[in-house]
Chain A
Amino acid sequence: MSRLDSLVRKTAIACAIALIGLATACSKSTDAPPATSSSQVGASQSSVSKLGDLSEFQVIAQDVAGLVNQGDLALAKLRIKDLELAWDSAEAGLKPRAAADWHVLDDAIDQSLSALRAGSPQPANCKAAMDALLKTFNRLQGKA
């Protein structure tokens, strides 16, 4: 019993170490350029908020707003999913930089999501929500 036990245990630990080693090696090879000062680099630009570079999210929001203005709410609803996914996956990176600002933008995004995902979305509501969201982006970037 004990021999089988220790064999199983040793194999398991060896596999676990191999996996972790593999992951570390993979991440090191791509981690070469240290990205620690990225927020400082952007700070000189006028369009950078306390949360750092938000252009990735702003671009999608502008897309969605454009579609809403054209009256294509179905396509807008599809496109805003990209914003939801990108915003959600960046939460751990962005929130610690300025939690209060993060919540302001998060609420604005939530409003837009629920306007576009309403049972029968109202063009006026969607437009108002998207306008408010774009204004929030501008305000956080000190442009409005």
Chain B
Amino acid sequence: MNQPTTAAWLNKVPEVTLAFWVIKIMSTTVGETFADFLAVDAGLGQGATSIGMALLLAAALFGQLRTRAYTPWIYWLSVVLVSIVGTQITDLLTDVLGVSLYLSTTVFAVLLAINFAVWYAQERNLSIQQIVTPRRELFYWTTVLCTFALGTAAGDLATEALGLGFTLGVFVFAGLIAATAIAWKLGGNAVLCFWIVYILTRPFGASLGDLLTQAKTYGGLGMGATWTSTLFLSVILILVAAAQLSSNSQKSIAQ
């Protein structure tokens, strides 16, 4: 509390805790199901849904960039919307423009690398804890968008090229996440490990969602999209509400 941070611009991102990862993984599934629901069930079509989501994302990011300190509900709303838009960018490239998944996976990986390079060149660090300037925050969200697009493309590539289904996918991606976590415990670079896990949680969340939603004929648990989304959304709301409450109480103590 008594650290001399600039009063005008406080840290804008949450601490990386278990709750952080749970919300991150579940928001991926909820975002995708919700976008699917709008496009197919509600019959809005892919085009209208994409435009609507992009506008919502712009509004949420505008709110996120304008707040003075980390505000859980705005932050997580932005993550959910980035997740949806990142997925839609990949889908648009693959389905409408016919770009091969090998190419889009490579391009997103390169874009991510360039973003990191520029971020490092400008800031001399890639801190994920000290997002305390507008420029750093822009780098942060650009990175998040790239990781979602890359995670989607790489996950789809694993399905298309390797025939990796969701049942095996859950174990493969969980294993890769665990390996990264061990590497971090053994002294691996924290920022690098964070972003690797951030990418991997995209296909992991998608596989987990599929495992719950898909019919038993396909090896899923047959809970259906509605129940799975309701369950995940409830967990997200509880965890975000808890974060919001504790951040409010900290604020009132600090004042």
The interface of chain A, by Cβ under 8 A from chain B, is 1, 4-5, 8-9, 11-13, 15-16, 19-20, 23, 26-27, 30-31, 33, 35-36, 38, 52-53, 81, 84-85, 88-90, 92-99
Contact = CB atoms under 8 A, between A and B. Distances in A.
18 contacts: A1-B249, A8-B249, A9-B242, A12-B238, A16-B22, A19-B238, A20-B235, A23-B212, A23-B227, A27-B212, A27-B221, A27-B223, A36-B219, A90-B215, A93-B214, A94-B218, A97-B163, A99-B161
A84 B238 CA distance: 34
A137 B221 CA distance: 27
A88 B239 CA distance: 30
A9 B246 contact: yes
Most chain A CB atoms below 10 A, which of B212, B217, B223: B217
Instruction: Give the interface residue-count category, chain B.
Output: 35 or more
A16 B218 contact: no
B237 to A, nearest CB: 10
Decide if the interface of chain A is mainly helix, strand, loop or mixed.
helix
B242 A8 contact: yes
Most chain B CB atoms below 10 A, which of A15, A20, A33: A15
A84 B164 contact: no
B40 A88 contact: yes
A4 B245 CA distance: 9
Nearest to B240: A12
Given A27-B212, A84-B40, A53 B163 contact: no
Contacts of B249: 1, 4-5, 8
> Nearest 7 A-B pairs (CB), nearest first?
A93-B218, A12-B242, A96-B165, A92-B210, A27-B221, A99-B160, A35-B216
Given A9-B242, A11-B242, A88-B36, A96 B159 contact: yes
Given A88-B40, A92-B165, A99-B161, 6 more contacts: A8-B249, A9-B242, A11-B242, A89-B213, A95-B160, A96-B164
B94 to A, nearest CB: 10
Interface in B194-212: 210, 212
